[in-house]
Amino acid sequence: MADYKAPLRDMRFVLNEVFEVSRLWAELPALAEVVDVDTASAILEEAGKVTAGSIAPLNRSGDEEGCSWDNGLVKTPAGFPEAYRTYAEGGWVGVGGSPEFGGMGMPKVIGAQVEEMVNSANLSFGLYPMLTAGACLSILNHASDELKNQYLPNMYAGVWAGSMCLTEPHAGTDLGIIRTKAEPQADGSYKITGTKIFITGGEHDLTENIIHLVLAKLPDAPAGPKGISLFLVPKVMVNADGSLGEKNSLGCGSIEHKMGIKASATCVMNFDGATGYLVGEVNKGLNAMFTMMNYERLGVGIQGLALGERSYQSAVEYARERLQSRAPTGPVAKDKAADPIIVHPDVRRMLLTMKALNEGGRAFSSYVAMQLDTAKYSEDKATAKRAEELVALLTPVAKAFLTDMGLETTVHGQQIFGGHGFIREWGQEQLVRDCRITQIYEGTNGIQSLDLVGRKVVGSGGSYYKHLSEEIRAFIASADAALAEFTGPLGAAVDNLDDLTAWVLEQAKTNPNEIGAASVEYLHVFGYTVYAYMWALMARAALGKEGQDDFYVSKLGTARFYFARLLPRIHSLTASVKAGSESLFLLEAEQF
């Protein structure tokens, strides 16, 4: 496998030339104080060094060794504790954290690039700081000042880690039926009792303490999701002076043996009257959790992108070196026994598909991150509200489409290696295995599709979608004639998506099955159309610069490939949506 190299040139292109993020930062005073183009460039450069130098070399060995469990204790693979210490000492765990408690305070659009780098280098490793950052976000926005001051500085510093404890053996997506209980105590604390499963980083040896955020129900809580509260439950109790005290009444019962991400500890966590502290209001636990959901779901989408990038880097290096057969038009490497496989049309099809999906995904994830920054920091209420609604609309697309395309990309990368792609030592098969979970956790992609169509499109009467459609049409109207080869098919794609959205809205009025029947294909039509918008934006930034260096030539060539070979997928998907739900219900359950 090729050594990982952070795609810094493309990241700078997206941030500075496509989106001109410095303009956004200048409009948001809270960000203007902490970040500028030079600061951002320095941060990304350093992140590229630490991820490539300290974390990427542990990817295969971590997969081979995996985590081990012994009498409640979890050991991560060799090198992980040292690499985590290096990562934490660099401040990377708190890159997006509040400066008030020791975080860097960087905007999400910078954090998104750092996340991509660490997950490309080693997804299993990247999950540990990701879960800590998510826990910090909920604590920052909902916990008392006392809890913030007691826990956030050490969590941002990477001295303590965090976990999110939601799922139970009988309750996955349907959190309203959880059974974990919280008993109020005289001192204001609670005793937490119950079992949680699939807890990433629930136990490990990377930090001296792990701060669990646990969903539980009070004895008198109403039934369903309106009766869920959120609690902070430390692995080791923290004394008033900040020192560590006794171990809390909780433990790791086992770890899962998984298809991929084997160096990430996926734990069964047992809480046996553990001491916990309320975060936010009683029975408002889901509100506190959803504060971080948009960030976490974008983060999972970025994982799919990251694995696709790592697969592409290895595949293109292999395709340039592997000699097999001659080009259809005749010998290219005449001094060799055969030509490198990159001359063959089908190999180029796979490489360009990977490149187009990766670079389109990077632009899209950055775009969504910018909306998160605008929603969080804008002082103009109308601007913030529009950004919030765009985030709500685009988050399920970011999570599902980026990971679906990530799996397609990693499979292409494996295929380019031929038989060697099936062999462990080349590394491509690990990326396929690791990527598969991204379509499942943090809400399966089927659930994301239902969220997009049911809640965000139908639930808003199409108003959230209108923001995006109007923005793309304004871009097309403002483009000059030189961009017509891109804006023409983009306009047709938006017309198609407008029409499909109107069709779904109409069908949902009379048949509730139509939402579920349409959802996955609709999300994909949506994703390909949004990527077309991203590629048109990138083409605008690259046009006229072809003479400067090959980067712009490559960018425009890939844009043309996307519009010619990938965007047309929307037509079969649209036909599938409009076929309706009837064919899904022709069989009785016993006839399957």
* Separation CA 214–CA 36 (nearest Å): 37
Residue 454's identity, in one-letter code, is G
> What Rg do the C-alpha atoms of the chain give, in angstroms?
24
* Token pair 């974008």: residue: 298
User: Sign of torsion, CA 539 542 544 548?
Assistant: negative
Q: Pick the catalytic residue from 168, 442, 514, 521.
A: 442
User: Sign of torsion, CA 421 425 428 431?
Assistant: positive
* Separation CA 582–CA 12 (nearest Å): 48
Cα separations (Å) of 293 from 131, 207, 298, 424?
Answer: 11, 24, 8, 34
| φ, ψ (nearest 5 deg) of residue 518 | -90, -20
Give the residue among 519, 522, 438 at the shortest CA–CA distance from 119.
438
* Separation CA 514–CA 511 (nearest Å): 6
Check if 321 is active-site: no
* Token pair 């660099």: residue: 90
* Separation CA 157–CA 90 (nearest Å): 9
Question: Max Cα separation, the chain?
Answer: 84
Q: Which helix (H) or strand (E) holds 276?
A: strand 266-279
3-state DSSP assignment of residue 230: strand
Q: Is 540 exposed, middle or buried (0-12, 13-18, 19+ CB in 10 A)?
A: buried
Distance between terminal CA atoms of the chain? 43
Q: Which residues contact 71 (CB under 8 A, 6 or more apart)?
A: none
CB 495 within 8 A of CB 451: no
Do the strands 160-165 and 209-216 form a parallel or antiparallel pair, or are they unpaired?
Answer: parallel
Q: At what angle do helices 123-142 and 108-121 cross, to 10 degrees?
A: 150
Q: Which helix (H) or strand (E) holds 196?
A: strand 190-200
* Separation CA 412–CA 572 (nearest Å): 21
Q: Indicate which residues carry an active-site annotation.
A: 442
